[in-house]
């Protein structure tokens, strides 16, 4: 039996090679994320697998799908995780190199209730993690992660005989056939497939071709786990700017960008303009609500306020619910409300029947966007964007804040904004009309503008987004004159990953 994991081991020592290292901070709200070698070692990953196997057997399950993304260490991590799962008596179905939605699809295709996908998603090299679920199409939330954390850190493992591992051959073909089925474009489109040298590069171009895209231009689709140009993150302006440049140079109809594990999709239109996923979601909601009257949509608190005021959605009887940011939260709320779709500003799209199976899949999102264009002959993506009401939304900005401190900092900020509202205070001359506090605090102002501060669910960071109903300059002022100075008063808050 493995020893109880420790959090204080140093690499290149006897203890590191003989004892599981698992830092408690890696158990996040709905994913598990660690710096490999610094916060978890291979024995720690094995302990995670044994703990996960113990937990899913508590839930009455035994069969679990595993896959891994394309990083230099992901295969060895998956093997260590599998060793732990097998020792817990689980039947492990290994689909090999995969994007996360391929593993989610495998739960349905292979009739397996559980999944453990080894991926650090869009995080920088050095990070690793596991996305887990035991109730398709949902992934773990705080309650499940809390129980798993207890089992692993306390060493409450239940080792069982009868475990085994089965390698599933050629599963990628089944996945590509699934995501491309039912779409055969009637208008010729030239589409940039941008993958940032991440895992999606092995699957996205072929899937887009099978959807009927006339010309697929591969951009950084060669797998390279050093990520030589930029991190595969379609919410990051470096990747978005590279996509925009390629669209303008080649005269493409649009660019579709996929993150490191293929569950997110970023978009650049035919004019080389980046469209954040919440605005793409609004365009999709307008299009789909005309086909599915009285539909419900779920959006995260980082998303534009236009959903609440859009006249097209109102005319189609659509309802929009704002909810907590995070793929697990939006996925659960979309399922709970039987919503047609859920959208996150980060690029996670969730489609229920008849469009998808409820989980986030960058290629299913790409298919939905292409189908929308096919239903609007003669209109470019830029035309659909220009038809939206105007709102000026910032990039997602993330100042560093330690995992042990970030939630307390956010609690302080929530209290400050609550006191400011109760005292009748104003932000840049505007009264506060509402506070949404399901996930940090979203401060709504009387003209429809808003600011958001929340804790990142999977990194030692805060998350900041602002939106102005007035102008781009006002959007920058909301950040530079309101949110940034407020956070700067706190020494726990460090440098931003990007700023406006």
| Residue of 338, 330, 296 whose CA lies nearest to 313 | 296
Dihedral of CA atoms 245, 344, 191, 394 in degrees, nearest 10, equals -20
**Alpha-carbon distances of 484 from 383, 446, 463, rounded to whole Å:** 34, 21, 11
Instruction: Tokens for 355, please give them.
Output: 């469009």
Instruction: Please state, in angstroms and rounded to a whole number, the distance separating the CA atoms of residues 133 and 139.
Output: 4
Nearest of 277, 320, 329 to residue 299 by alpha carbon: 320
Task: Give kind and range of the element (H or E) at residue 289.
Answer: helix 277-291
Tokens found for residue 102: 């391929």
101 prior amide bond cis, ω within 30 = no
Separation between Cα atoms, residue 169 and residue 474, nearest integer Å = 54
Residue 417 phi, psi dihedral angles, 5° rounding: -65, -35
Strand partners, 21: 6
Active-site entry in 87, 121, 346, 394: 121
- Find, among 163, 110, 109, 107, the residue nearest to 135 by Cα: 107
Gyration radius from the chain CA atoms: 22
Alpha-carbon gap, residue 16 to 483, rounded angstroms? 42
Measured distance CA(394)–CA(479) in Å, rounded: 9
Dist. CA 388–CA 311, nearest whole Å: 10
Could you give the angle at which helices 74-87 and 42-58 cross, rounded to 10 degrees?
40
What does DSSP say about strands 430-436 and 426-427: parallel, antiparallel, or unpaired?
antiparallel
- The whole-angstrom distance between residue 486's C-alpha and the CA centroid of its chain comes to 27
Q: Are 380 and 374 within 8 A, CB to CB?
A: no
**Residue 33 DSSP label:** E
Q: Is 237 helix (H, G, I), strand (E, B) or coil?
A: helix
Tokens representing 78? Answer: 């998956």
Q: Give the Cα separation of 71 and 121 in Å (integer).
A: 10
Q: Nearest to residue 205, comparing CAs of 230, 179, 236, 171?
A: 179
Contacts of 365 by beta carbon, 8 Å cutoff, 6+ apart:
264, 265, 347, 349, 351
121 is catalytic: yes
Classified as helix, coil or strand, 111 is coil
Angstrom CA distances, 332 to 43, 299, 327, 338, stand at 32, 12, 8, 10
- The residues annotated as belonging to the active site are 121
């Amino acid at each position: 039996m493995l020893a109880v994991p420790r959090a204080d081991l140093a690499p290149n020592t006897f203890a590191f090679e003989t004892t599981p290292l698992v830092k408690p901070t890696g158990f996040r709200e709905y994913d598990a994320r660690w710096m490999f070698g610094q916060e978890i070692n291979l024995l720690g990953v094995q302990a995670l697998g044994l703990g996960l196997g113990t937990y899913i057997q508590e839930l009455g399950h035994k069969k679990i799908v595993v896959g891994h993304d394309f990083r230099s260490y992901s295969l060895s991590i998956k093997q260590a995780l599998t060793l732990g799962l097998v020792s817990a008596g689980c039947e492990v179905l290994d689909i090999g190199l995969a994007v996360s939605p391929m593993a989610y699809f495998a739960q349905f295709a292979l009739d397996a209730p559980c999944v453990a996908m080894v991926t650090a998603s869009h995080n920088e090299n050095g990070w690793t993690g596991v996305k887990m679920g035991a109730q398709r199409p949902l992934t773990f939330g705080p309650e499940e992660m809390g129980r798993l954390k207890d089992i692993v850190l306390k060493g409450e493992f239940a080792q069982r005989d009868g475990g085994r591992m089965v390698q599933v051959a050629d599963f990628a073909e089944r996945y590509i056939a699934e995501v491309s089925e039912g779409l055969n474009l009637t208008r010729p489109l030239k589409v940039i497939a941008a993958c940032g040298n991440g895992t999606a590069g092995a699957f996205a171009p072929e899937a887009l071709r099978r959807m009927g895209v006339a010309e697929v231009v591969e951009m950084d689709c060669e797998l390279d786990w050093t990520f030589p140009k930029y991190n595969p993150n379609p919410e990051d302006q470096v990747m978005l700017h590279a996509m925009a440049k390629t669209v303008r140079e080649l005269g493409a109809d649009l660019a579709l960008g996929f993150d490191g594990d293929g569950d997110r999709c970023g978009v650049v239109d035919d004019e080389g303009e980046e469209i954040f996923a919440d605005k793409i979601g609004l365009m999709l909601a307008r299009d789909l609500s005309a086909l599915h009257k009285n539909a419900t949509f779920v959006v995260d608190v980082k998303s534009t306020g236009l959903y609440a005021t859009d006249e097209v959605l109102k005319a189609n009887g659509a309802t929009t619910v704002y909810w907590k940011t995070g793929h697990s939260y939006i996925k659960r709320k979309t399922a709970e409300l039987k919503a047609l779709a859920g959208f996150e500003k980060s690029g996670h799209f969730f489609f229920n029947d008849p469009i998808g199976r409820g989980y986030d899949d960058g290629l299913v999102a790409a298919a939905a966007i292409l189908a929308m264009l096919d239903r609007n002959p003669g209109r470019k993506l830029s035309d659909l964007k220009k038809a939206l009401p105007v709102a000026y939304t910032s990039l997602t900005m993330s100042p560093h804040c330690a995992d042990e401190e970030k939630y307390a900092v956010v609690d302080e900020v929530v209290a400050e904004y609550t006191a400011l509202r109760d005292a009748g205070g104003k932000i840049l001359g505007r009264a506060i009309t509402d506070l949404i506090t399901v996930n940090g605090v979203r401060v709504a102002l009387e003209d429809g503008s808003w600011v958001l501060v929340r804790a990142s669910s999977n990194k030692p960071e805060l998350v900041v987004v602002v939106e102005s109903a007035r102008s781009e300059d006002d959007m920058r002022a909301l950040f530079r004159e309101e949110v940034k100075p407020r956070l700067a008063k706190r020494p726990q808050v460090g440098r931003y990953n990007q700023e406006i």
